């Protein structure tokens, strides 16, 4: 579904998702339908990354690995852990879409940091990662 989206488009989607996620810090905020759609679009791309990471030749492993290093700098990632952490953020975003907030503020911060890092990752031009994340 999102295979045809350019790096620039992905960066813009994650930027809008990031802005909506940051609003979650204020528990009194109600999301607009546009903000909910922005969160949903970001989550859907993250789900495509999970499918990609589970494939034989992942295209986005370097992008996702570098972005997650921004979230957890001390963690040594393998593919399974990349999938686990992306899935955890997907759960957070899905709860926001449903106007159910996770109890841990850290989860919201993590989702925001990841969206920001992915926005930067797809907005910047990095050479393919030389590190194997498998």
Return per-residue pLDDT of the chain as tens, 134 residues: 445 678 899 999 999 999 888 887 666 677 889 989 999 999 999 999 999 999 999 999 999 999 999 999 999 999 999 999 999 999 889 888 887 765 567 677 878 888 999 999 888 655 555 444 44
What is the Cα–Cα distance from 107 to 101, expressed in whole angstroms?
10
Q: CB–CB of 122/14 below 8 Å? A: yes
What is the Cα–Cα distance from 130 to 81, expressed in whole angstroms?
18
87: CB partners within 8 A, 6+ apart = 50
- Tokens encoding 46: 């993250």
Q: CB–CB of 92/107 below 8 Å? A: yes
| pTM, 2 dp | 0.73
First vs last C-alpha separation in the chain: 24
Can you tell me which residue has the tokens 């852990």?
81
């Amino acid at each position: 579904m999102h295979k045809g989206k350019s790096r620039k488009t992905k960066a813009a989607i994650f930027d809008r998702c990031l802005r909506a996620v940051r609003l979650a810090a204020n528990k009194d905020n109600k999301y607009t339908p546009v903000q909910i759609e922005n969160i949903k679009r970001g989550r859907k791309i993250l789900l495509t990354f999970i499918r990609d990471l589970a494939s034989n030749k992942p295209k986005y492993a370097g992008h996702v690995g570098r972005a997650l290093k921004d979230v957890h700098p001390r963690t040594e990632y393998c593919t399974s852990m990349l999938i686990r952490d992306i899935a955890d953020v997907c759960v957070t975003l899905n709860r926001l879409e449903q106007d159910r907030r996770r109890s841990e503020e850290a989860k919201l911060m993590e989702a925001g940091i990841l969206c920001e890092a992915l926005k930067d990752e797809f907005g910047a031009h990095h050479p393919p990662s030389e590190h194997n994340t498998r």
